């Protein structure tokens, strides 16, 4: 209908909540659903293979790198965002950094001050090392080209 604003989808269960008057200084590692109304100064990372969801409300702020399977963003992130599966940028979303995604949904009004990088493209640019090639360059040493 006309005149109604679309609200971000919130299909995930919330296991952890960071309230509006809460500020966390340090990295946050979680599984399940994390809803942030407050401020996090540090990296936000989901446990590997957990299929976790980060929901950042319009009042929420994260200053650090985000690495989560699914992201629903309506607040501000100052740092790179790595959405391993899906990212939804709602109308009030603000990202000051690069967004790495597999699937992206972006509402009118969302803002990204950085690059949008599709994960399949980023993975293509990385050269895979075959087991027989490993012998040519000892582990922990690069080619020295620069």
Residue 81 located in a structural domain: yes
Residue 75 located in a structural domain: yes
Residue 130 located in a structural domain: no
Residue 65 located in a structural domain: yes
Residue 26 located in a structural domain: yes
Percent of the chain topping pLDDT 70: 74
The tally of domains found in the chain comes to 1
What is the domain range of residue 82? 16-124
71 versus 13: the higher-pLDDT residue is 71
Residue 2 located in a structural domain: no
Residue 58 located in a structural domain: yes
Residue 29 near residue 49, CB atoms below 8 Å: no
Give the pLDDT confidence of 3-25 residue by residue, as tens digits.
555 554 545 588 899 999 999 99
Residue 142 located in a structural domain: no
* Burial grade of 113 (CB within 10 A; 0-12, 13-18, 19 or more): exposed
């Amino acid at each position: 209908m006309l005149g109604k604003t679309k609200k971000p989808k919130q299909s995930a269960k919330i296991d952890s909540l960071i309230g509006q008057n809460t500020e966390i200084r340090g990295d946050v590692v979680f599984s399940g659903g994390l809803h942030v109304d407050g401020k996090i100064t540090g990296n936000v990372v989901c446990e590997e293979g957990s299929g976790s969801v980060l929901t950042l409300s319009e009042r929420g702020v994260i200053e650090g790198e985000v690495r989560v399977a699914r992201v629903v963003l309506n607040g501000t992130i100052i740092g790179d965002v790595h959405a391993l599966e899906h990212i939804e940028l709602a109308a009030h979303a603000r990202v000051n950094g690069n967004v790495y995604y597999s699937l992206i949904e972006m509402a009118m009004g969302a803002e990204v001050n950085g690059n949008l990088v599709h994960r399949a493209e980023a993975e293509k640019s990385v050269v895979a090392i075959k087991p027989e090639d490993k012998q040519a360059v000892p582990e922990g040493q690069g080619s020295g080209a620069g």
